[in-house]
Amino acid sequence: MKYLIIGNGVAGTTAAAHIRNLDKEGSIRIITEEAYPYYSRIRLIHFLGGEVDEKDLVIKKADWYEEQNIELSLNTEVVDIDINKKEVFISPDDRIHYDRLLLATGGVSFVPPISGANSEGVFTLRTLKDANEILEFVKRVINVSL
C-alpha cells in the first residue's frame, strides 16, 4: 500500500505516525512545500522573541522519519491531482502514484483588504520562512536607523 500525505504540519505528521502503527509494511511519503521537517508553529512567536533557536522548533527530526520508515520530501509543491489515475503532480511532468491520499494542507494567512496592507514591513506569520523574513527585516531596519 502506498500512502501519500500532502502537508507535514501536525495533521499530516500525526496521521503518518498513526498509519505506521496500523501498517508496518506500507510505504508512507509526506510531501511539503516547506524546507523544514515538522516544527511547532505555535512556538514561532517565541522564536521571533529570541527565546528559542530554529532547531528547538523542530518536533520531528530526521532520525524519527528514518525510524518510522517515512519518506519526507521537502521543498516540493503539489500543483495538481488526478484522482482517477491516483497521481499527484509536483511539476507538470513529474507525477507520483498513490493508493491512499491525505490532504493535510492546512490554511493560508488571509490578508484583509486594508489600505497599506501590501506595504513594506507588513507581514503575515504562519511559517518559519515568514518568521525568518520578519527577523531579517527587523535587523535591516535597526541597522539603517543606527
Ligand X SMILES: Cc1cc2nc3c(=O)[nH]c(=O)nc-3n(C[C@H](O)[C@H](O)[C@H](O)COP(=O)(O)OP(=O)(O)OC[C@H]3O[C@@H](n4cnc5c(N)ncnc54)[C@H](O)[C@@H]3O)c2cc1C
Which residues of this protein are in contact with ligand X, per CB under 6 A?
A: 6-12, 31-34, 41-42, 44-45, 77-78, 104-107, 125-126
Instruction: Please give the Cα distance from 135 to 143 (Å, whole number).
Output: 12
Residue nearest to ligand X (CB): 106
Of 12 and 65, nearer to ligand X (C-beta) is 12
Least distance in Å: CB of 55 to ligand X?
Answer: 18
Angle (nearest 5°) at CA 40 between 34 and 45: 105
Instruction: Please give the Cα distance from 117 to 122 (Å, whole number).
Output: 6
Instruction: Please give the Cα distance from 27 to 9 (Å, whole number).
Output: 19
Of 108 and 144, nearer to ligand X (C-beta) is 108
Least distance in Å: CB of 122 to ligand X?
Answer: 16
Instruction: Please give the Cα distance from 105 to 102 (Å, whole number).
Output: 9
Of 39 and 146, nearer to ligand X (C-beta) is 39
Least distance in Å: CB of 144 to ligand X?
Answer: 26
Instruction: Please give the Cα distance from 66 to 77 (Å, whole number).
Output: 22
Angle (nearest 5°) at CA 7 between 125 and 54: 45
Least distance in Å: CB of 145 to ligand X?
Answer: 26
Of 49 and 146, nearer to ligand X (C-beta) is 49
